[in-house]
Amino acid sequence: MHESRQGDTETLNREIRDELDRVGEDIARSQDLGSLKQSISQRLEFIGNTMERFRQREQEREDLLAGQLEAMQEKVAAMEAHSEQMQQQVREERQRAMTDLLTQLPNREAWQERLLFEFNRWQRYQQPLSVAVIDIDLFKKVNDSYGHKAGDRVLQLVSRELRSRLRETDFIARYGGEEFVLLLPETGVETAEEVIDTLRNRVAVLPFHFGGEPVNITFSAGLTEFRANDSVETVFDRADRALYQAKDAGRNRTQSV
């Protein structure tokens, strides 16, 4: 495109120079004013036509460039839209991979990722960070007495109640079976125990009915907070041991360590 334009410009300049030279020759050879005026008029008309052809070719080039630019912009926009669509699909697939299908809570993989994130944040800022492990009491009895559909319903209702009572900054996940795990950022163990007890009392009064019978659903919880020299493994093990202490102490209670 650049070479074509340069060639046309050189041709235009050459033709104009040639015509101007011929005008000079006509003036030198002219015998009368009438024939000179006619000759100069023809030369000027030729120059005008030459310049008009050049202008038309320039316009065609500009139109072509504009069309190519528009096509390129449309292609870039289409590529960006496709890229955004692919990124959205990746985000959705990742979200599905990190979500428990039954309860729609984050799953164990999501828990491990968030736990590590909050642990690193705790190491940096040294703000309180509490961890709770929750287990629905006598859940096997619900499954055995009323069937697995009833058990699934219990998990869904308990999950919904727990999630609705937590702060946006808190994190809850289904760890597996009837077990749930919670992260309570910027919350010491004493305040966290109050939070867990409130959740426990809320679940205990939920109106569960199976086979026409009221069923009391409770949970036990083990609770601890991060301390100096803790790792994600040590703090989770400590909360898990506290859960078993709560179970051994009679269930439907919170044990903090």
Q: Is 93 a catalytic residue?
A: no
CB 134: neighbour CB atoms within 10 A? 26
Catalytic residue among 118, 178, 193, 225: 178
Tokens of 150: 């009833």
Cβ contact 222:240 at 8 Å? yes
Backbone angles phi, psi at 99, to 5 degrees: -120, 135
Backbone torsions φ then ψ of 187, nearest 5 degrees: -135, 120
Answer whether 154's CB lies under 8 Å from 142's CB: yes
* Residue 59, Cβ density class (10 Å: 0-12 exposed, 13-18 middle, ≥19 buried): exposed
| CA–CA distance, 120 with 126 (Å, rounded to integer) | 10
* DSSP code string of 180-195: EEEEEET--HHHHHHH
Residue whose structure tokens are 């809320």:
202
CA dist., res. 237 & res. 244, Å (int) = 11
Catalytic residues: 178
